[in-house]
Amino acid sequence: MAVNGDAPRRSMAGRALALLGVFDPAHPRLRLTELARRADLPLATVHRLTGELVSWGALERDADGYYSIGLRLWEAATLAPVAGRLREVALPFMQDLYEATRENIHLAVHDGFDALYVEKLSGHRSVPVISRIGARLPLHSTGVGKALLARAGAEFLRSYLERPLPRFTRYTITERARLVREVRATARRGYALTNEEMTLGSCSVAVPIPVEGHGPAGALGIVVRSVRTDLHRLVPDLRAAADAIARRLDESRVPGVAEGGFVHLARGGSR
């Protein structure tokens, strides 16, 4: 077995988790040697651990010898709170927005320095976007991100500005003073706008979901082709949807009802 500098500090459980953590959107399928290299673990260890992970269903191995995340892990992950109540409550309102616009409808939550996309609806005619469920995109270059940034407060904004602000298009706001002004304007008017700041050809409008204490802060956004200039026209519907989602989340906090997060569905099934 190869000597590995990091290995003595990591438990076997930690090494198993490290193997799950090396997959990313650009690398959803990996060979055994790539797993070992990316997790910085000896090949023999990886061979043994992948055997365990595959037999449980945390990983699966296809006919070409590539490993990917397994069905049982995906199934367990559908029980995460972020995928549960927030998504369930938001989805019918997102459907309404989709029907009214036929555009990309996004639900994202604030996690660390990112907007984490937890739901996305889109149709055949929606503008192609980089987002997907599970994607992380920056707070300063996306509509939902700016809505979350405007809600996070001055102290968070200061720490956000201490980090590099990656540029995605020539319209991405990377000048710090300008971003501060933009975030203040967003907070004042209550909704965020982007114009080709993440992807050329698309622009977006987003609002925060005005609720406290249901896990991470959330935002709801619509991404449309940038030739459409009537983004402001979408704000009343977007705000009504975000308010309705917040009300539903608050209602479900009644003791004994919110418990578990799947009560709504269980009750639906008993009718």
| Integer Cα distance of 30 and 28 in angstroms | 7
Those residues whose C-beta lies under 8 Å from the C-beta of residue 256, and which sit 6 or more positions away, are: none
CB of 7 to its own copies, least distance (A): 14
CB of 135 to its own copies, least distance (A): 8
CB of 181 to its own copies, least distance (A): 27
Instruction: Kindly state the helix (H) or strand (E) to which residue 60 belongs, with its residue range.
Output: strand 59-61
| Distance, C-alpha 196 to centroid of its chain | 20
CB of 23 to its own copies, least distance (A): 5
Tokens at 221, concatenated: 């956004």
CB 262 within 8 A of CB 84: yes
| Integer Cα distance of 77 and 266 in angstroms | 18
What is the layout of strands, in order, in the sheet containing 192-195? 136-138, 114-121, 104-111, 218-225, 202-208, 192-195
CB of 208 to its own copies, least distance (A): 19
- Cβ proximity to its own copies, 82 vs 165, nearer residue: 82
Is 227 in a helix, a strand, or coil?
A: coil
- Cβ proximity to its own copies, 73 vs 235, nearer residue: 73
- Cβ proximity to its own copies, 16 vs 148, nearer residue: 16
Tokens at 216, concatenated: 């991470």
- Cβ proximity to its own copies, 58 vs 149, nearer residue: 58
| Integer Cα distance of 103 and 201 in angstroms | 14
CB of 69 to its own copies, least distance (A): 4
- Cβ proximity to its own copies, 24 vs 175, nearer residue: 24
- Cβ proximity to its own copies, 44 vs 77, nearer residue: 77
- Cβ proximity to its own copies, 56 vs 185, nearer residue: 56
Question: Measured between alpha carbons, how far is residue 184 from residues 121, 151, 173, 193, 217 in Å?
Answer: 29, 10, 14, 12, 18
CB 222 within 8 A of CB 97: yes
CB of 5 to its own copies, least distance (A): 20
